[in-house]
Chains A and B, each alone.
Chain A
Amino acid sequence: MADNLNEQFSQIYDQYIDKIYRFIYLKVDSREAAEDITSKVFIKGWESYNDRGQDSNSMVKNPGAFLYQIARNSVVDYYRERGRTKTISPEISPEMADPDENPQNKAIISSDVAIIKKAIQKLDKDHQDIILWYYLEDMPVADIAKLLDKPAGTVRVMLHRGLKELKGIIQE
């Protein structure tokens, strides 16, 4: 039973570790912070998964949504702890934030990606999340709507507006 639980969580972990890390990394200013928050997200996920005796265990029902929700809250907590009023810190250059990045990521961050990351960070929190989930994680609008507890139509409009705003920021 315990081994089975391990195996199931192991699969969830493998499926979401990259996505959750990326989601967090794009919202914070350093790899260390992204790793720290991602650790907390998966530890909370594991605690919840262990508590699967409860019928309404959302971690078991929809682990992706559950992990993303923890990730969103954890990022908010992270900035609250640092005494920030904004969710993001666009003034901190992502290139400078990760001096110890691995060569692959270094190459990525050094180019247009840095501009995109910086621009995404200038969007408001919901627009950021919708764009990242839809375009980066290929999440259907219906799932995003559930995650944000908004109608699918509203999500589509927000997606459109967010993209337009992002384009405007990049072209500034």
Chain B
Amino acid sequence: MTKLTQGQLIDQIKTLKDIKPRKEWAVLLKSQILAEKNNGMEIIGQSAKFVGFSNIFVNIFSPRKLAYSLSVILFLVIGVLGFARYTVPGDLLFPVKKISEQSQAALSGQTSLKQDVAILNNRINDLAQVSRDGRTGNIPSTIAEIKTNASELTKSLKKNSVNDPQTIKDIASSLKTLSDVPGTDLTTNSDVKDLYQAVVQNQVSDLKKETLNDSQKNILAQAENLYEQGKYSEALEKILLIGK
């Protein structure tokens, strides 16, 4: 700042008139002082402390700060959820994705069986993804998740008779995807095997009620034979060939 005239300097001093206290603070202080008038000087003295405390309270809970805080929390939640969408078992934020999946399924009004099918399908897709990406560190956690989901789903299938053939077809399709994931043969795992068994059993039972041509009847017979031998995954392959 160079060559300042006296007039300019005075004008600049006068701009300080724009400095004013916060309105809410000024109003609060006035009401505090006047409200304590009948309670003696001691309480008036305390009111200064109360104004200080109220200031903190007003500062924390002022609508503007509250709005900022909520916005930050909202951004964080959206960010975490968004990031969690791309996680797989074994990742730090995978539990968030799991909770999110369960919440979405519950909110969509799906039956528990359909929720289990959808979650198993998601985990199988995760396994396919980590296998493609070569993320070997995530494979054990993903397989563990699949085993747990397969076990839960088998229990659901055994407990409740399934009237919806589409659900069984969805499981069969997921199992097919699982068998196609390179380097992760889970068809011999007991949890997955049980699921194969339950699905094949359901499918054979359904197909027997359908009208089949000779070729389809022949494939069904082969599938039943494989089922009897405990070759459930192969039996499922045959069933899928029928295309019903």
Contacts and interface: CB of A to CB of B under 8 A. Distances in A.
B73 interface: no
B13 A136 contact: yes
B154 to A, nearest CB: 60
Contacts of A13: 30, 33
Given A13-B33, A42-B33, A115 B1 contact: yes
Contacts of B41: 47, 50
Given A36-B52, A167-B9, A17 B16 contact: no
A6 B32 CA distance: 12
Contacts of A132: 13, 16
A13 B26 CA distance: 9
B34 A9 contact: yes
B136 interface: no
Contact of B15 (A18, A112, A131, A170): A112
A101 to B, nearest CB: 9
B16 A46 contact: no
Given A43-B44, A43-B45, A5 B16 contact: no
Nearest to A34: B21
A85 B34 CA distance: 36
B28 to A, nearest CB: 10
B20 A18 contact: yes
A116 B21 contact: no
Nearest to B41: A47
SS class, residues of chain B in contact with chain A: helix
A132 B17 CA distance: 10
Interface stretch (A20-28, A55-63, A75-83, A148-156): A20-28
Contacts of B45: 43
B133 interface: no
Contacts of B92: none
A95 interface: no
Nearest to A36: B52
Q: Give the residue among A10, A115, A116 with the most B Cβ atoms within 10 A.
A: A116
A104 B6 CA distance: 26
Contacts of B17: 22, 136
14 contacts: A17-B26, A21-B21, A22-B16, A35-B25, A43-B45, A46-B33, A47-B41, A108-B19, A116-B12, A132-B13, A136-B16, A167-B6, A170-B1, A170-B9
Given A35-B55, A116-B13, 5 more contacts: A2-B38, A17-B21, A22-B17, A39-B52, A46-B34
Closest 9 CB pairs of A and B: A21-B21, A135-B13, A108-B18, A22-B19, A46-B33, A116-B12, A39-B48, A17-B26, A13-B30
Interface of B: 1-4, 6, 9-10, 12-22, 25-26, 29-30, 33-34, 37-38, 41, 44-45, 47-48, 51-52, 55, 59
